[in-house]
Amino acid sequence: MSTFPHPYRAFTAFLGTSFAAGPPPRRQFLPAEFRETLLAGAGERLPLLDAPVLDWELAERVHDADYLRRWRAGEVTRAEERALGFAWSPAVVERGLASSGATLAATQDALALGLGINLGGGTHHAYRAHAEGFSFLNDVAISAQWLLNEGRATRIAIVDLDVHQGNGTASIFAAEPRVFTVSVHGANNYPFQKEISGLDVALPDGTSDAAYLATLQDSVFSALHAFAPDFVFYLAGADVLEGDQLGRLALTPAGVRERDDQLCRWAALRGIPLVLVMAGGYNTSPQTLIAARLGTLEAALESRIIHPLLQEVVNSLQEDQVQLSAEVAQLLFEDATDWISHGEYGLALQMLTDRIEDMELLFTASWWRRSLKLAELLGVHERVSVTYEYLAQAGLIAPEQ
Ligand SMILES: [Zn+2]
């Protein structure tokens, strides 16, 4: 799927003129020309907005005031620069503020729309009073603290699926029971001294799709279920992919897409607002990385748009049919829900309308109107409209009441 109408948008620090030069040139980062490709691909899927710059005051609610003062003034040591991975410059500080501002704006979107997106973000190695691992400000921690201070959330899950442990985040919220930190990471990846998260899963080198996805099912979703968050931050690191320069796992692009689908759907199905931040990704193949990032965006969008629309069509099976027994409606509902849960949205709708055709069931014109619109979004309009035409000619569409 490429494009469909929806209310969502993404914030990015890469558009702003003062940060347009992008991150400092580390060989592991996506080269500038590929960043343009990524932005263009993202822009086809949703509007991109300039990152608003964060107020220092909000950063101070998470980070140590003297630490922030020194970084603001450029009073940092060589050792601190080495831990960060860059030399200090005003641009490093501005980018940190823009990236954190983008996550905060995405957080406000999630409160209003259910889903908020920062095309960057996820600087999870930043501690309260020290920088490391390309992370100077902890954007997700700042936004989570903002939600708590504003009383907009009371049980926040930070699901960090970047290949590196979210050590800064775990440390910042170690004594905060309202925040549940989850980190699934490579056991042998940086940071070598790990912190204690609410849930840590350390995976061996070369972990494949199947083992990774089993971990999600066995550990992560049950822990999320038990915590029952009212807000979720999702760090969708692409550095779990095989071929990552800084990761040691071996997921395929299909495995990453399945991971993103499962996580985004988990929150969407429960109506829990979700903020998506991209976190790490340093693949030797820029094309692979870009495809994974766009897949992550699509997973988040589909979970909020297609899924609810299809669910609405399925939920109205009983209301909108005219001659259907409750038992048959229930069977159709159960089948369709099963197909949906596998993420085969187009197939689910197609199979549903095929059944309706086979059984020559009488549905209202308004039910069909919703289904045809959805079929268009899902790219199965041709097939579903053939079914519709057949039933219409046979007089099997009930007029509007
Ligand atoms: Zn990472």
| Distance from residue 246's CA to the centre of ligand 1 (Å) | 7
Q: Return the pLDDT at 5.
A: 65
| Distance from residue 279's CA to the centre of ligand 1 (Å) | 6
Q: How many other C-beta atoms can be found within 10 angstroms of the C-beta atom of residue 155?
A: 16
Q: Return the pLDDT at 336.
A: 82
Q: Return the pLDDT at 329.
A: 80
**Could you tell me which of 41, 32, 29 has the C-alpha nearest to residue 14?**
32
**Global pTM value:** 0.87
| Distance from residue 139's CA to the centre of ligand 1 (Å) | 14
Q: Return the pLDDT at 240.
A: 98
| DSSP codes joined into one string, 99-147 | HHHHHHHHHHHHHHHSEEEESS---TT--SS--BTTBSS-HHHHHHHHH
Q: Return the pLDDT at 187.
A: 97
- Owner of token pair 């592991």: 28
User: Where along the chain do its domains lie?
Assistant: 10-304, 308-398
Q: Do residues 183 and 202 touch, judged by C-beta distance below 8 A?
A: no
Q: Which two tokens stand for residue 210?
A: 């199947």
Q: Which two tokens stand for residue 333?
A: 């509902």
In this structure, the chain runs to a length of 401
pLDDT in tens, the chain (401 residues): 445 567 899 999 877 655 555 556 677 788 777 888 999 999 999 999 999 999 999 999 999 999 999 999 999 999 999 999 988 998 889 989 999 999 999 999 999 999 999 999 999 999 999 999 989 999 999 999 999 999 999 999 999 999 999 999 999 999 999 999 999 999 999 999 999 999 999 999 999 999 999 999 999 999 999 999 999 999 999 999 999 999 999 999 999 999 999 999 999 988 999 999 999 999 999 999 999 999 999 999 988 988 788 888 888 887 787 777 778 888 888 888 887 777 678 888 998 999 999 988 889 998 999 899 889 888 899 999 999 999 999 999 988 75
Q: Judge if the upstream peptide bond of residue 253 is cis by omega within 30 degrees of 0.
A: no
List, in sequence order, every beta strand (DSSP E) within 15-129: 48-50, 115-118
pLDDT digits (tens, 9 = 90+) for 67-120: 999 999 999 999 999 999 988 998 889 989 999 999 999 999 999 999 999 999
Q: Return the pLDDT at 227.
A: 98
Q: Report the C-alpha gap between 334 and 35 in whole angstroms.
A: 43
Q: Report the C-alpha gap between 207 and 210 in whole angstroms.
A: 8
The third-level CATH classification (topology) of the domain covering 10-304 is: Arginase; Chain A (3.40.800)
What Rg, from alpha-carbon coordinates, does the chain have? 23
Q: Report the C-alpha gap between 149 and 282 in whole angstroms.
A: 34
Q: Return the pLDDT at 1.
A: 43
Q: Report the C-alpha gap between 224 and 49 in whole angstroms.
A: 31
- Catalytic residue from among 6, 63, 124, 125: 125
**Could you tell me which of 392, 350, 92, 133 has the C-alpha nearest to residue 237?**
133
Q: Is the dihedral of CA 116, 122, 124, 129 positive or negative?
A: negative
Type of residue at 212: Y
| Distance from residue 256's CA to the centre of ligand 1 (Å) | 14
| Distance from residue 273's CA to the centre of ligand 1 (Å) | 24
Q: Return the pLDDT at 313.
A: 86
Is position 125 annotated as part of the catalytic site? yes
